[in-house]
Structure 1
Amino acid sequence: MSKLHIALATVNQTPLNWSGNLQHIIESIKEAKTLGSELICFPELAICGYGSEDLFLSYWYPQKALKQLNELVAFTENITVAVGIPIRIADKVYNCMSIIENKQIIGFVAKQFMAIDGVHYEFRWFTPWEHGKVIQFDFFGQEIPLGDIVFEKNGIKYGFEICEDAWRGKLRPGYRLKDRKVDIIFNPSASHFAMGKSILRENLVKDSSGLFHATYCYINLLGNESGRMIFDGEILVADKGKLLLKNDLLSFQDYQVRTFLFDKSQNDHNPLESKHDKNEEFVKAASLALFDYLRKSKSKGFVLSLSGGADSSTIAVLVAEMVRRGMEELGVNHFIEKSGIPFVPKTDNPVIEFIGQILTTAYQASDNSSFSTFQSAKSLAESIGAGFLNWEISDEVRSYTEKIEKAIGRKLSWKEDDITLQNIQARARSPIIWMLANIKNSLLLSTSNRSEGDVGYATMDGDTSGSISPIAAVDKHFIIQWLKWAEKELQYSGLQKVNSLQPTAELRPAENNQTDETDLMPYSLIVEIERLAIRDKRSPLDVYLILKEELGMDEKMLKVYIKKFFTLWSRNQWKRERLAPSFHLDEFNVDPKTWYRFPILSGSYEEELKELDTY
């Protein structure tokens, strides 16, 4: 035989939700069988979830995963199932694919390379497998081969590269699979979402199919699995350098199954064309991440301090899009049921109704707040259907200020106490908005962005307060242009006032004409500096020499901005350590838990910054 009906399944899993995870896999197998599939491949660590973290280090957790696998065996009659699982052998844990054929486990394939960059810390949990090595593993009394194995079905040979295995250039297992003349290579993955990453994956899959003379299949996990990392559920198939299959990414479904017919005798295929839009990727990923975080945390909604500015307005729109997109894909009833929030539509516009129930916004005015930002916040909230409250914090600010003035024996002034007087306004807002979140059993959404995280332009225990910080991994320059895109492309007319305003903290008196970029530097420049300093890990001098050539701006001013960036970056690591959990959405972020670790105490680049003065 030279044909094989293949299914590829992505699943939205959750660590410790054993029954739910298993059910997603079983339902996917049932659907694959209904579609006539003879083999189905699931993503990496699909049994337990990739985001299990230090649970992998325990003895009981991998053992429980094996028990789940044993339960799954009964559902594999007349089909071959490949599914990801951790396996402990003595004091080492291996990241494996288990292959079950017609209710019999026929082998385990172990991952050979660990992901150790960016958001990945796999060496903390897993041991890489030696290529070519095969042992016997005791699976509840059965001796099963485990290691570097290839398989055959219907006269068709297939093997595996597990996620990171495929990104190791000349070292990757694909070359050895080519030597073993496999016809199909499966790449089961837990590859985090990042804007623009799908293009890289498509190129990998297409290039691999040509390089190894094999049909190459990629299958990724789906959803916000455990809090920070998002999986887009991408399914790709390529042959002879051409993309043949690609699914819709970032689905609200529990699982997706896509099928294709592998036919050895078929020599030519019509290539598939795909489209990529970074703005659309952002809103799709953030919407799904918010929905999964909401339902998996068993919360009843969101509370947002809506200032009328860019950041909080972005988050409000993302919540609205979460509801709109979720109901559109799942249907109103299924979406509501899956959310776990009691709700009965009373009108013919359940999207607006549901947003009104789950999203409560509040404008908290200080003496320095403007009527324009109030109008901006109110207009946006009303246009999307969110609840809108407003109050003044002047009495609270005055009370705090008078108490400290009495204690220290002097009046505070903007000349001597600028930061103190700015911060107390932001901090005074925090207790009351937390009260509202508690009353509503809701998640408090923090509004920090990555650019502000870089330089500490945020008040700790003020605007940083929150249960989750949806856009903390996204730069402000991107946010500003995305809002304009959303107003036009997503037709959010309520963003018109937001997009007309200059970004400002509104914490100094109005006559100061405070703006964020005046306090810091142009947001477009922060993006360029952080790209080199944080993403590429360049020294201050390297950053200067590169940007001097790239930007052609005044060299003296460029040095001032670079010194300011590195000084503020070093000084504010403690703030980044305390920010609310954030979603990884871009190619890099500044969260020390997931991407960039930096010492809280340091020499603040003093010697390195002095070097700039010699150029």
Structure 2
Amino acid sequence: MRSYRIAGATVNQTPLDWSNNIAHLKQVIKLAKEAKVEILCLPELAITAYGCEDLFLSEWLPEKAKSFLPALIAETEGILTTLNLPIRHEGKLYNCSVVVQNKAILGVYAKQYMALDGVHYEPRWFNPWPVGVVKEIELFGESYPIGDITFDIEDWKLGFEICEDAWRGKDRPACRLFEKGVNLILNPSASHFAMGKTWDRHDLISNSSAFFECTYVYANLLGNEAGRMIYDGEIMIAQHGKMHLRSELLSFEDVHVDWVDIAPDQSIAPSPEKVAPVIPKEEEFPQAAALALYDYLRKSRSNGYTLSLSGGADSATCAVMVAEMVRRGVSEIGKTAFLSKINRADWEGLTEKEIVGKLFNTAYQGTVNSSDTTLNAAKTLAESIGAKFYNWTIDDSVKAYTDTIEDVLERKLTWEQDDLALQNIQARARSPIIWMLTNITNTLLLTTSNRSEGDVGYATMDGDTSGSLAPISSVDKHYIRQWLHYAEKELGYSGLAPINVLPPTAELRPSDQKQTDEDDLMPYHIMVEIERLAIKDHRSPKEVFELLVKEDLEPADLLKTHIIKFYKLWSRNQWKRERLAPAFHLDEFNVDPRTWCRFPILSAGFIEELQEL
């Protein structure tokens, strides 16, 4: 049997951006044809974008998506490809792949399994296609088969799994495709990014190709499509257990095609240069956040970002990510393309550091409780990356609020009696002025909440939680502190040195009280272990204790105290999590109730379960 040039492609799409979405698909088909690709797999729902949410429930959106098929089909001379979109059939909506070859429709495969875990709610919009059922659908006056179908293409018998289909174990479509003699499986996907997730995909694709004795092609969407989810654009082709192609992830390019020449009875060993290495989590984190910030910036048509830079770990991480956005983007696609996509061609003569300064405002908002140490740390970091740096105090605003409430209550506020209120008013007094700077500069305000703070509500609503976007709120504080040391040493951010030696602190109490986050809460390395079991794995307090006490992390009585504190704070602070700014999904789970983790705002707060503990 001869070799065929088989490819996967990725595209960076946006809901309702029809002209650009279709242009990207035409461009990627054109690139594939120029490379003499014969079979091309495109990502799931690439015409509409995956993140259309409840727009999928409308009648008009699937119809409009379908209206672009003729223009795309006209581009397919000499190539077989997959045009992926929602299709309404017999009153129900299906997630479909229209298979097209040489400007003709061959048929329509409909996804059989809907993702309903973690960040996915597909059954809200789509119906699962029944296994083994094939019907007829009329498209543009002609009748075609739709459903659980396969295709004979020269030496290939072609079948499909669409994303979630492949993750269903013994019930997955590939089991039935194997029985039908299918030797080529295409998987158009919209699989969200999470640090380390590529290993799971790599194993799935490689093992599938071995177990089902086939060539398996996987193509994922790319970029921050609709605000929260990030897609890494991963393309993989494996055959008989050997990985023949794996693309590099998280490209700043809007389109990308990768291919291999492969025969159904391939005996040639894979070419190592076609298989990109899997990078470590420490490198994935800034790569994903940088691309997500870039897409968010250009798709929201904003002028840049603004950040309240405290001299602490969280705001430092956000600042480095903005600098990484510029560094990585310019490095990968060039300064001209990077600036063109954000409509800043007039900045062509600027250095990378100067571009950061044009895009990024930072401000240190001090009080009498702030230290020169954190001020100097914030200033050092801002200057090292090129960000604009402002420095002001908010004591007059805090005093005005405090004087007013003291007059109303007819008493003085004291730290002994009013600790929480006196801390919170400082955080809240910072919000109006940083929002004002944000509005004046037409930028996006970044809030610095991390996942650990979200767990226990260690944040002031309408204060340090104020913002348009929370880029690191799906990442735990323990990891952030470790990563900042990596960024200083391995990525060259020397401006992080003063921050990396400081213990995390809110600096909201008088300095003689020596406030630290871990004294207020618990050690972060303990919290992340409790969180993993309690939130990610949904364990009860007693189960968490029984599992963690074996790990000898700290004395049993202290561990029990920390578990009780975690569950109490978690329960009473759901209302805060409901109000957090939109967040990037970067880790394997998060606590955003609009994506991964739903919890009642009102509950009994584990009273009986904590008594059992």
Q: What does 1:216-615 align with in structure 2 at a 5 Å threshold? A: 216-270=216-270, 272=272, 274-341=277-344, 343-347=346-350, 350-612=351-613
Report the 3-state secondary structure (helix = DSSP H, G, I; strand = E; otherwise coil) of the residue aligned with 1:436: helix
How far is the alpha carbon of 1:88 from its aligned partner? 1.0
How far is the alpha carbon of 1:22 from its aligned partner? 0.5
How far is the alpha carbon of 1:577 from its aligned partner? 0.3
Pick closer, same or farther for the CA change 1:57–1:200 going to 2, 3 Å: same
> TM-score, normalising length from structure 1?
0.98
Structure 1 counterpart of 2:88, which letter?
R
1:167 aligns to what? Answer: 167
Write the deviation string for residues 164-206 of structure 1: whole angstroms up to 9, x where unpaired: 1111110000011111111211111100000000011000011
Q: Partners of 2:229 and 2:93 in 1: how far apart?
A: 22
Q: Partners of 2:145 and 2:3 in 1: how far apart?
A: 26
Correspondence 1:198 to 2:201 = no
1:21 aligns to what? Answer: 21
Structure 1 counterpart of 2:584, which letter?
F
How far is the alpha carbon of 1:276 from its aligned partner? 2.8
Report the 3-state secondary structure (helix = DSSP H, G, I; strand = E; otherwise coil) of the residue aligned with 1:406: helix
Q: What does 1:6-155 align with in structure 2 at a 5 Å threshold? A: 6-155=6-155
- Whether the 8 Å CA contact 2:41–2:217 is kept in 1: the answer is no
Percent identity reads: 58
Deviates more, 1:531-540 or 1:261-270: 261-270
Structure 2 counterpart of 1:242, which letter?
K
How far is the alpha carbon of 1:217 from its aligned partner? 1.1
- Whether the 8 Å CA contact 2:526–2:553 is kept in 1: the answer is no
Structure 1 counterpart of 2:341, which letter?
K
Deviates more, 1:180-189 or 1:489-498: 180-189
How far is the alpha carbon of 1:491 from its aligned partner? 0.5
Q: Partners of 1:265 and 1:200 in 2: how far apart?
A: 26
Q: Partners of 2:38 and 2:453 in 1: how far apart?
A: 52
Deviates more, 1:18-27 or 1:80-89: 80-89
Report the 3-state secondary structure (helix = DSSP H, G, I; strand = E; otherwise coil) of the residue aligned with 2:566: helix
Structure 2 counterpart of 1:251, which letter?
S
1:184 aligns to what? Answer: 184
How far is the alpha carbon of 1:73 from its aligned partner? 1.3
Report the 3-state secondary structure (helix = DSSP H, G, I; strand = E; otherwise coil) of the residue aligned with 1:50: coil
- Whether the 8 Å CA contact 1:21–1:47 is kept in 2: the answer is yes
Gaps in structure 2 of 5+ consecutive residues: none
Report the 3-state secondary structure (helix = DSSP H, G, I; strand = E; otherwise coil) of the residue aligned with 2:218: strand
Report the 3-state secondary structure (helix = DSSP H, G, I; strand = E; otherwise coil) of the residue aligned with 1:514: coil
How far is the alpha carbon of 1:100 from its aligned partner? 1.0
- Whether the 8 Å CA contact 1:426–1:463 is kept in 2: the answer is yes
How far is the alpha carbon of 1:340 from its aligned partner? 2.4
Pick closer, same or farther for the CA change 1:433–1:388 going to 2, 3 Å: same
Report the 3-state secondary structure (helix = DSSP H, G, I; strand = E; otherwise coil) of the residue aligned with 1:502: coil
Report the 3-state secondary structure (helix = DSSP H, G, I; strand = E; otherwise coil) of the residue aligned with 1:176: helix
Report the 3-state secondary structure (helix = DSSP H, G, I; strand = E; otherwise coil) of the residue aligned with 1:238: strand
- Whether the 8 Å CA contact 1:12–1:255 is kept in 2: the answer is yes
How far is the alpha carbon of 1:342 from its aligned partner? 5.1
Q: Partners of 2:91 and 2:125 in 1: how far apart?
A: 11
Pick closer, same or farther for the CA change 1:194–1:252 going to 2, 3 Å: same
- Whether the 8 Å CA contact 1:243–1:271 is kept in 2: the answer is no
- Whether the 8 Å CA contact 2:571–2:603 is kept in 1: the answer is yes
- Whether the 8 Å CA contact 1:4–1:154 is kept in 2: the answer is no
Aligned-residue Cα RMSD (Å) equals 1.1
- Whether the 8 Å CA contact 2:198–2:278 is kept in 1: the answer is no
Structure 2 counterpart of 1:215, which letter?
T
How far is the alpha carbon of 1:270 from its aligned partner? 3.2
Q: Partners of 1:341 and 1:465 in 2: how far apart?
A: 28
- Whether the 8 Å CA contact 2:155–2:264 is kept in 1: the answer is no
Q: Partners of 2:533 and 2:81 in 1: how far apart?
A: 44
Deviates more, 1:448-457 or 1:254-263: 254-263
Structure 2 counterpart of 1:46, which letter?
A
Q: Partners of 2:155 and 2:348 in 1: how far apart?
A: 55
Deviates more, 1:183-192 or 1:501-510: 183-192
Pick closer, same or farther for the CA change 1:77–1:268 going to 2, 3 Å: closer
Q: Partners of 2:39 and 2:367 in 1: how far apart?
A: 62
How far is the alpha carbon of 1:439 from its aligned partner? 0.4
Correspondence 1:157 to 2:157 = yes
Structure 1 counterpart of 2:574, which letter?
Q
How far is the alpha carbon of 1:554 from its aligned partner? 1.2
Structure 1 counterpart of 2:119, which letter?
V
Deviates more, 1:551-560 or 1:437-446: 551-560
Gaps in structure 1 of 5+ consecutive residues: none
Report the 3-state secondary structure (helix = DSSP H, G, I; strand = E; otherwise coil) of the residue aligned with 1:51: coil
Q: Partners of 1:254 and 1:119 in 2: how far apart?
A: 24
Structure 2 counterpart of 1:269, which letter?
A
Q: Partners of 1:194 and 1:83 in 2: how far apart?
A: 26
Q: Partners of 1:266 and 1:7 in 2: how far apart?
A: 16
Query: Structure 1 runs of 4+ off > 4 angstroms?
Result: none
How far is the alpha carbon of 1:367 from its aligned partner? 1.0
How far is the alpha carbon of 1:542 from its aligned partner? 0.5
Q: Partners of 2:163 and 2:400 in 1: how far apart?
A: 56
How far is the alpha carbon of 1:307 from its aligned partner? 0.3
Q: Partners of 1:176 and 1:537 in 2: how far apart?
A: 34
Q: Partners of 1:152 and 1:297 in 2: how far apart?
A: 44
Q: Partners of 2:394 and 2:286 in 1: how far apart?
A: 32
Structure 2 counterpart of 1:206, which letter?
S
> TM-score, normalising length from structure 2?
0.98
Pick closer, same or farther for the CA change 1:530–1:271 going to 2, 3 Å: farther
How far is the alpha carbon of 1:341 from its aligned partner? 3.4
How far is the alpha carbon of 1:218 from its aligned partner? 1.0
How far is the alpha carbon of 1:144 from its aligned partner? 1.3
